Amino acid sequence: MRFAPSFPLSLLAVSLLSHSAIAQQTNEIERIETTSSRIQGNMNASGYAVSSISEETLSLLSFQHIQESLNYIAGAGVQRGNGQEYLPALRSPVLTGAGACGGILAAEDGIALRAAGFCNINELFEAHGEIAQRIDVIKGPASALYGSNAIHGVINVVTPDTTQGDGELSVDYGSYGFHRVKLKEGKDFGHSGVGIAASVTRDTGYRNEEGVDQEKVSLRHRLEWDSTVITSGLTYTHLDQETAGYIEGFESYKNTQIAKSNPNPEAFRKAESFRLWSKFDTSFSGGHALSITPYVRNQDMRFRMHFLPGKPLETNAQKGVGVLSQFNYVINDSLSADIGLDVEYTEGELTQSQDSATEGSAFLVETIPVGKHYDYDVDATLFAPFFTFNWQAERWAISVGGRFESMQYDYTNNMNVGRVREDGTQCGFGGCRYSRPADSENDFITLVRSFHFVINLTLKPSYLAASQEAIARLRQQSCIVCSVHRLLLILTR
């Protein structure tokens, strides 16, 4: 059951802190980078352009949709769709259509949300961004470390380490039936700890017969001794979305009745995802470090493709296991080397079917028949060793690296082959719209070479501190002005 408030209010947030009432000023922050390197604290010359949305900004923003936070990143232009859907752009045009999601790798805690070739353009709704410690964005190709799907960059949602003992309970309440409850709680036992972060979202939306019910939970466990830390995590997400279709007509959005209408009340999206991982970090004498992260991933989704003729139903699922690894060898104070190996195996499946006759022209009716359009399985295997050599002086840094990536796909078609109906009969106008290839095995081998040259332009400490303080004041003022402006607009509707 969904509850719609009787008055519009979108900027009310109540936070109840169970262990620390108010966050202390963070004048000095120890930054641990986990997106441009898997080794914590490893300051190599990777050359990646990493931008971050901090925990402070995320807390102040308290976004309803992750698009609101990503547009804080220069070079990112994420277009929000209905419910939890969106279309991304990262130093690129807005990516749409089949295969568009292959241009940007979406990850949580450095682990890709989907295997290469199994992505979904809206897949960030499977990351627990609502309680994120920060969101890191790599702009530009990141193939040496991340490989496939990182052509335009990487969006990495970093979840909080709740094993340190801090706790928080917060409630977000907004207009058009939006409300969200977020919980963080943990227990620090010294050399070990456990924690949980959870969020529950309800949003009825402003259009007819639309809405989002979403639940997410992240568990964390930490065990450490001497120079070794083992951190394990589990994330489960569930989405039940009633989708609203596109309205049509020139300036139709200006008509309140049309703007609130839903041309596709039958559209929906239901999805579940599960990820389990355990990261092993250890350091050796001489400054060398090793990181190994095995993981398990499971996902399934059903949604009505209301944007296609015939409005077919797609059901897809994938399950897989993998390992990410990196070893950092320190040669001297200026020179180091990184080597690593990524291995993954995934089993995926997809069916697409249509339960009612296509409406439209004679061509569409004839070429898009009732019945199954696709039914296939795909097994994918990834094998990818990589290396980098990093040289870093006081102001200069050079990184040379490469990644060898082997992707193997074993495709099995569970239907008849070709552009025919499910029962094997021919469609008119030269054949049916959907073509089903025969069983096949496809291998793709890629060798990526990278070279980065970095110059560090360092300001004097006094100038740097003054500029950082000024930027912080501007950000705070702009956020306050923006929030007040949004509140006034809503209250005067």
Beta strands 153-158 and 104-108, pairing class: parallel
Q: How many CB atoms lie within 10 A of CB 240?
A: 15
- Which band of pLDDT confidence, cut at 50, 70 and 90, is reported for residue 473? low
* pLDDT in the model for residue 47: 61
Q: What is the mean pLDDT of the segment spanning 112-131?
A: 91
- The shares of helix, strand and coil residues in the chain, as percent rounded to the nearest 5, are 15, 45, 40
* pLDDT in the model for residue 462: 53
8-state DSSP, 309: T
436 has a pLDDT exceeding 50: yes
432 has a pLDDT exceeding 50: yes
* pLDDT in the model for residue 110: 92
Q: What is the mean pLDDT of the segment spanning 441-459?
A: 80
* pLDDT in the model for residue 408: 96
* pLDDT in the model for residue 116: 86
* pLDDT in the model for residue 481: 43
Q: What is the mean pLDDT of the segment spanning 219-223?
A: 97
Closest to 164 measured CA to CA, from 119, 112, 229, 120: 229
More confidently predicted of 13 and 390: 390
467 has a pLDDT exceeding 60: no
**Average pLDDT value over all residues in the chain:** 85
Among the ranges given (33-47, 113-127, 336-350, 478-492), the one the predictor scored with the smallest mean pLDDT: 478-492
pLDDT digits (tens, 9 = 90+) for 152-166: 889 999 999 999 888
More confidently predicted of 192 and 392: 192
48 has a pLDDT exceeding 80: no
Among the ranges given (29-43, 67-81, 290-304), the one the predictor scored with the smallest mean pLDDT: 29-43
pLDDT digits (tens, 9 = 90+) for 235-263: 999 999 999 999 999 999 999 999 999 99
More confidently predicted of 490 and 131: 131
Q: Return d(Cα 320, Cα 344) in angstroms, integer.
A: 7
* pLDDT in the model for residue 278: 97
Q: Return d(Cα 248, Cα 389) in angstroms, integer.
A: 55
- Which band of pLDDT confidence, cut at 50, 70 and 90, is reported for residue 16? very low
pLDDT digits (tens, 9 = 90+) for 305-352: 999 999 999 999 999 999 999 999 999 988 999 999 999 999 999 999
79 has a pLDDT exceeding 50: yes
What would you report as the CA-atom Rg of the chain, rounded to the nearest whole angstrom?
A: 25
**Which residues are CB-neighbours of 177 under 8 A, at least 6 positions away?**
2, 3, 4, 5, 202, 203, 204, 205, 211
Q: What is the mean pLDDT of the segment spanning 123-148?
A: 87
Three-state DSSP class for residue 312: coil
